[in-house]
Structure 1
Amino acid sequence: MPQLNLAWWLINFLIGWTALTIVFTITLNISLTTNLPNTNTKIEPLKNLSWIWT
């Protein structure tokens, strides 16, 4: 039955992406809270994230 195969693929796809986004947000929050030398995190958060992309 192709409908069952498509539904199973969609379920696995959604579970995988939600797990990836949850892990990404958890690691991002951990890196933001542990990166304490920059004190302007509330005013300019993008400057604090610049070390991740370099």
Structure 2
Amino acid sequence: MNYWNFNFSALMLTDTSFFRNNNYHEKTDVMGTLDLNRMAKAIDGVYDALLAF
């Protein structure tokens, strides 16, 4: 939103991980608590969407 306030085009992408991961931004938020397969699917989806745009 801050970019829009200064007339810059911007897009925010989020996987809303804070809704699914109780470790988000906690001391327990470490590599072992991440679902890397799911994260890879999210990245692939964004990449594919950008190519289609």
Q: Same fold (TM over 0.5)?
A: no
If asked which structure has higher relative contact order (CA below 8 Å, sep 6+), I would say: 1
What's the TM-score, normalizing by structure 2? 0.36
Q: What is the TM-score when the length of structure 1 is the normalising length?
A: 0.35
The structure where helix makes up a greater share of residues is: 1
